[in-house]
Amino acid sequence: MAVTAELYKKIVGELRSKNVSLVAVSKTKPVEEILELYNLGQKDFGENYVQELVDKYEQLPKDIRWHFIGHLQSNKVKLIAPFISLIHSVDSEKLLKEINKEARKNERMIDCLLQVYIAKEETKFGLNEEELQGLITRILDTNSTNYFKNICIKGLMGMASFTDNKEIVRKEFLYLKSLFDKYSKPQTTNYKLQTLSMGMSADYEIAIEEGSNMVRIGSLLFGKRETSKS
């Protein structure tokens, strides 16, 4: 495992001093390495692939809080609905309806973040501001037949452009923070914007400077990731 106890504690100490939560991105990493971080006190882990997440959930301690941070297909929501702690990547009303339906079946509330498209890359997913505003309006409409009783929108998530230009990254994070502030009210039973999830291994420090209170760090903790799975 690439991470040492000293490095992990240093990162966690830095984040806690700024009231920032750490999601350890464990995609493609074996359960043995996840257990090492777990034994150091890490409880929040992020995964991108549904089947890999399900397999790890079955093998690892049940007090782990699993975060789904990848692009989620509606037909796979049912596989993670019984146990998922937070879904970061809600990028459509269709997906949100499916999460609400599966949450109802499992008699639980599922916490979600709305993913906003802030990058200059076509490969990224997310809502633009017009779509974000429209979806929030529908979420808050208690009279709607599609009222979302079994989800709670806890915040926003975004991924900055993959670039060495820090000013581009900073502007994208600043934009997401402005949306977070703009749509942070009202607070209701199913809409409580508290979490701004932005920043990864390469740019988390900039993200924190621009208002992030949850970062997703993988390679800095585990080393470079293995070849991605399809």
Structure confidence by residue, pLDDT tens digits, 20-74: 999 999 999 999 999 999 999 999 999 999 999 999 999 999 999 999 999 999 9
Give alpha helix (H) positions in 17-92.
31-39, 50-59, 77-80
Domains and CATH numbers, the chain: 5-222 (3.20.20.10)
Q: What is the percentage of the chain residues whose pLDDT exceeds 70?
A: 93
- Residues 6 or more apart whose CB falls under 8 angstroms from that of 92 comprise 127
Q: What is the DSSP string of 148-163?
A: -SSEEEEEEEE---S-
Q: How far is CA 51 from CA 28, 56, 78, 185, 197, in A?
A: 11, 9, 11, 36, 23
Element (H, E) at 96: helix 93-105
Convert the pLDDT of each residue in 76-113 to its tens digit: 999 999 999 999 999 999 999 999 999 999 999 999 99
CA angle, 15 then 19 then 22, to 5° = 50
Give alpha helix (H) positions in 110-163.
129-139
Q: What is the DSSP string of 164-197?
A: S-HHHHHHHHHHHHHHHHHT----BTTEEEEEEE
pLDDT score of 227 = 47
Determine the distance from the C-alpha atom of residue 170 to the mean position of all C-alpha atoms in its chain, rounded to a whole number: 19
Residue 26 in contact with residue 47, Cβ under 8 Å?
yes
